[in-house]
Amino acid sequence: MTTLHLGGYTTDQTPPCGLGVTTLDDSGFGPVRTLGELAEPSFAVVSGEGRWLYAVSEGPQGRVAAVDAADGDVAGFVEGVGADPCHVALSEDGSRLVVSAYSGGGVALVGVDGPRLELLDTLQLVGDGPHERQDAAHAHQATFVSLHQVLVCDLGSDRVVLVDHGQDVLREVGEVRLPPATGPRHLVMAPDRTRFWVVGELDCTVHPVLRTDDGWRPGTPASLLPTDEEREGSLGAGIVLDPSGRHLYVTTRGADTLHHFLVGPGDDLELLEVHQVGHWPRFLGLLSTGDLVVAAERADHVARWRPDADGRLRHVGTDLSWPAPTWVSG
């Protein structure tokens, strides 16, 4: 049996909603128990020992909370991480959080000691783009690439920014520029760290980025939409890579699709299959069981998909009902 934690929006939702915990086994999802009373916990991360959830509270106050995973109590919080924090990443040693603030346009470094959280530094990103939603920097995700460095997707400036936080000071040390109006949302790194893939929220495209002797170089992108007409009202969303590094899965909101690509050498991506999923598949996660979960925000459910030996997917079991789901732990 696997324990799963859920996050979701609370505004205009009927309780129970927000943070929750459930189980998953061969018979399906178990009942959900609500955790804490936190507004808009749209993303969270679980501590290494499973004791704590570090969850954003997406709003103008810029708050991250430490929630007891057992009883759901909010045991500590930190403010000042930037307006509308939408993502939080935990370092491998469990001592630091990097928080991405969408409206705030920057990242924050938070020290972690169980439920005790301390704001150590903030970094304001700068830039814009041609799309109407690119009026300023909009940090959307930070991914640890080493103990002291993260790659930050900046939807507002069409950049992936390399940020160092050695000595608890945040500073830009590099960048990868993507095509105008990409809107980089989330990325996943290859196991050997020679490549990563960025899903463009605004252009509904997957962008491979390859490591070279001189840094990082964007490769040939792969579209998530067959026609330009379908691009209207559609947004790129979740992206995960299976542990073998051979199968890349991506969701698109609006078109409500789950794409499966076979990863080849260099920047090669071969589209193997496309599935229809629930409306507005905001989050895509890979579980420790090897299954994928798709959180369909506007359909109010989480679906389970199982890959076969060739990575091909099939929908398994009954979907889990949860209001406006936006995150599921692995």
Asked whether residue 24 is assigned to any structural domain, the reply reads no
Which pLDDT score, from 0 to 100, does residue 231 have?
63
DSSP 297: G
Closest CA relative to residue 21, chosen from 37, 43, 5: 5
**Structure token pair of residue 313:** 């997917």
198 located within any domain: no
Within a domain: 8:
no
On whether the CB atoms of residues 131 and 118 are closer than 8 A, the answer is no
Q: What is the pLDDT of residue 37?
A: 87
- Kindly provide the b/e burial profile for residues 185-220, where b requires at least 16 CB atoms within 10 angstroms of the residue's own CB: bbbbbbeeeebbbbbbbbbbbbbbbbeeeeebebbe
**Is 154 part of a structural domain of the chain?**
yes
DSSP 209-257: EEEETTEEEE---EES-SSGGGGTT-EEEEEEE-TTS-EEEEEEETTTE
CATH at residue 143: 2.130.10.10
Return the closest-CA partner of residue 326 out of 31, 5, 100, 64.
5
Outline where DSSP puts E strands in 58-193: 63-68, 74-79, 85-90, 96-101, 106-113, 116-124, 139-146, 149-154, 159-164, 171-177, 184-189
Question: How far apart, in whole angstroms, are the C-alpha atoms of residue 153 and residue 162?
Answer: 9
pTM for the structure as a whole: 0.96
Query: 72 burial class (0-12, 13-18, 19+ CB within 10 angstroms)?
Result: middle
Q: What is the domain extent for residue 142?
A: 37-166
Q: What is the pLDDT of residue 31?
A: 96
pLDDT of residue 213: 86
Closest CA to 311 of 233, 238, 258, 252: 258
pLDDT in tens, 52-87: 999 999 999 899 999 999 889 999 999 999 999 999
Q: Which residue has the tokens 């919080």?
A: 77
Does residue 286 fall inside a structural domain? no
Total domains, the chain: 1
Residue 82 falls within a domain, yes or no?
yes
- Residue numbers of the chain with a pLDDT score lower than 70: 226-231
Q: Within a domain: residue 278?
A: no
Strand order across the 74-79 sheet: 44-46, 52-57, 63-68, 74-79
Residue 6 within any structural domain of the chain: no
Q: What angle do CA 155, 122, 142 make, to 5 degrees?
A: 40
Phi first, then psi, for residue 320 (nearest 5°) are: -95, 130
CA proximity to 158, closest of 120, 131, 189, 123: 131
